[in-house]
Amino acid sequence: MLWVKAFHIIAMVCWFAGLFYLPRLFVYHAQAVDQPSIERFKVMERRLYYGIMTPAAIITILLGAWLLSYNLPYYLASLWLQTKLALVGILFLYHLYCGKLKNDFKQDQNTYSHRFYRWLNEIPTVFLIVIVILTVVKPH
């Protein structure tokens, strides 16, 4: 079980790395004015989303479910875990929203400024802090 937990944590770190970096790419992409830069950002965003973020998200969720299966009744009765799972669900929706924004950039249909993406970039930080505290401290 420790190996499963270790790989769950590794996958989570990779997922969050992508969640931190993709909106940062959006900041730069929204500021880009020359076509070579715009095309380069499209490639970087696609590779990050499909090559790192999405596989890491799927592995994180699958390994988390595997860990839950070891003692499901106890875990599902724990309020800290219910809260954590709800946050992970919302985080996955954020992931999908980033995919939608990536597609908007791909089709040259971005409507947001770099300031919007700077704020969007902060959301995963809040989730990371709360999820780690819930997991380690188990406050309820």
Boundaries of every domain in the chain? 2-137
Q: What are phi and psi of 112, to 5 degrees?
A: -105, 155
Per-residue pLDDT of the chain (140 residues; tens, 9 = 90+): 899 999 999 999 999 999 999 999 999 999 999 999 999 999 999 999 999 999 999 999 999 999 999 888 887 789 999 999 999 999 999 999 999 999 999 999 999 999 999 999 999 999 999 999 999 999 87
Q: Angle at CA 19, nearest 5°, toward 42 and 85?
A: 140
For residue 56, the model assigns a pLDDT of 98
For residue 122, the model assigns a pLDDT of 97
Q: What are phi and psi of 71, to 5 degrees?
A: -150, 60
For residue 63, the model assigns a pLDDT of 97
pTM of this prediction? 0.94
For residue 76, the model assigns a pLDDT of 79
Collect all residues with Cβ–Cβ distance below 8 Å to 127 and sequence separation of at least 6.
87, 90, 91, 94
Tokens of residue 32, six digits: 């880009």
Collect all residues with Cβ–Cβ distance below 8 Å to 9 and sequence separation of at least 6.
none
For residue 73, the model assigns a pLDDT of 84
Taking the C-alpha atoms of residue 79 and residue 76, their distance in angstroms, rounded to an integer, is 8
